[in-house]
Amino acid sequence: MVNRVLLWATNNPRVQHQMTENQFARRVSHRFVAGERLDEALEVATSLNSEGIGAILDMLGEGVTDLAGATHAVEQYEEAIAAIAERSLDATISIKLSQLGQTVDRDACVANLNEILDLAQNAGVRVEIDMEESGLVSDTLSLFREAVTKHPETRLAIQAALRRTPLDLEAMASLKPRIRLVKGAYAEPLELAQQGKNEIKAQYKYLTDWLFQYGADPAFGTHDGELIDYAKQAAVKAGKGPQDFEIQVLYGIRRDLQHELTAAGYRVRVYIPFGEAWYPYLTRRMAERPANMFFFLRAVVGR
């Protein structure tokens, strides 16, 4: 119930306005968001790299309403790519196709995506494509399939909670896709997505096995110790070592886990969000893990 309320709040303009204008809420958001500027995210990435941990830079914001907004997003992504290359950081960028004009002008989105992928490839920076709400899944999969013909190092996020995901992956088996497997953080109806924790975990485990068999360089985006342990065991069964897959975690959550996994020889990458659109991101993180909500509320009231 709490999760559904938080996901509702994500898209409620009135609640969003109240929270983004709250100075304490903005301050506490920095626990989970690197900052509003690219240079703040780069500082976090540099610090993580010094500890042997990789980074993913994620510019917050979903969807644009015109091509001018898409052009602005492309410029920001390209600025991030150039900065990563200039500083020789172990960092990728994570992009949202809705920011590139996917729902405004598909042809423009394709051109924007190819421009980013070409620049990133020339700079030696890898790109990860986020998966968004269910209504965009089919088109995102199509765009990914087109992209990897020229840019095979591109990785795609896949949501374990969606009922369609096993079939979507089966359809891509011939590509040996690079996938980031996540549980899913969107409020989807029962007919489209698993709702129970046990059901989602069961599908996550099934897809973990699938990725070790048919995918390439899989990444597992989770803080769930049970699922991380399962990925470790599945890797051993598949004849893979700690460096043959990646554990991806969110900035500000389970820092102890990041260091524990790194010390054990596993590849770890931290998802670093930055930008002004921090509110929707933050509410989704709280919906995923209620403990984050309680931390946030305690900080807002000064306790």
- Each domain of the chain, given as residue ranges in start order, spans 1-33+287-303, 34-274
Given a cut of 70, the residues of the chain with pLDDT beneath it are: 1-30, 62, 277-303
pLDDT at 214: 97
Q: What dotted CATH number matches 34-274?
A: 3.20.20.220
- Give me the catalytic one of 58, 130, 168, 217: 130
Known catalytic membership, residue 163: no
pLDDT at 46: 98
Q: Which residue has the tokens 């000064």?
A: 302
Known catalytic membership, residue 180: yes
Which long-range CB contacts under 8 A does 133-137 form with residues at least 24 apart? 133/186, 133/188, 134/162, 134/186, 134/188, 134/192, 134/193, 136/97, 136/98, 136/102, 136/103, 137/162, 137/164, 137/168
Contact 84, 93 (CB under 8 A): yes
- Give me the catalytic one of 155, 180, 284, 285: 180
User: Residues near 117 by Cβ (< 8 Å), separated by ≥ 6?
Assistant: 127, 147, 150, 151, 154
